[in-house]
Homo-oligomer: A and B are copies of this chain.
Amino acid sequence: MSQPWVPFDDRGLSYGDGVFETILLCQGRPMLWALHVKRLLEGCRRLAIDPPDESALAATWQAPPGGEWEVLKIIVTRGSGGRGYAVPEVATPRLMSRRVPFQPDPSAWRQGVGVRICSLRLARQPCLAGIKHLNRLENVLARQEWQTPAYREGLLADSHDMVVEATSMNLFWQQEGRLMTPALDQCGVAGTLRAGLIEAQHVVPAQLALDELAAVNRLWLANSVQGVWPISALWSSEGACLRRWEPPQDDPLQAVAHPLLGYPATP
């Protein structure tokens, strides 16, 4: 599959000076499109990058579907140039995209996944918190901590041992009948599925310390591509099993989240 290229002096390559989105296409239609556009524009605003036109963004998926499910990745960089870190007076941002086939994982929806707690602690940087910028070395380093497929994801806490997210998914928990998710004002990526669930008042942002994690009624990971994975087992960084949960019969998070993605509410 052909793909776009960027020159050496593109600031996305030089400094990670840009943002990206990873979008589920169902029969060619983008799921949660408005929320992806909203986050991308918010990222551009926070970094002071000239945002792309919404019509240019929409053109990234206006080709015939390449299958039932695809993933569309969009990158927007500030473009080329500038003297060192100083941004050019007139920057010409680059908008690039690529579509690849995708298969959701119904067994993860039904049986849940094993998850470990990463050793790496996310740094707190409110200037970059929430947006999906291109500085993702913390995620890359955290994902390198394990190889075994027994762990489908790794949970990340911040330098204050507050739970934040997983390397590429948001975290949700249930306590006293309420669905909650970490607030992400210090670090982490505010996922679009999470945003949709908060907007619809299904989920409330809250705080959760690492040492409270094993005591919650139920835990999930979710993002706008994979949908909702119940966590069936939680492991420490050292490989000790901290807790197991039975996958729920009627999953309250899947019931509200999956319809937003074209996935079955009761998989």
Contacts and interface: CB of A to CB of B under 8 A. Distances in A.
A127 B96 CA distance: 30
Interface stretch (A26-34, A109-117, A134-142, A258-266): A134-142
A6 B6 contact: yes
Contacts of A85: 136, 139-140, 142-143, 167-168
Copies held by the complex: 2
Contacts of A14: 20, 75, 134, 136
A217 interface: no
Interface string A125-150: 10110000111111111111000000
Contacts of A137: 15-17, 47, 128, 133-135
Contacts of A241: none
A209 to B, nearest CB: 19
Given A8-B3, A8-B6, A85-B136, A144 B15 contact: no
A6 B5 contact: yes
B12 A13 contact: yes
A125 B125 CA distance: 10
A87 to B, nearest CB: 6
A16 B125 contact: no
A84 interface: yes
Contacts of A20: 14
Interface of A: 3-17, 20, 47-48, 73, 75, 77, 84-87, 96, 98, 120, 123-125, 127-128, 133-144, 159, 167-168, 187
Given A5-B7, A16-B16, A16-B134, 11 more contacts: A4-B7, A5-B8, A8-B75, A10-B13, A13-B13, A13-B77, A15-B135, A47-B140, A48-B144, A84-B167, A124-B124
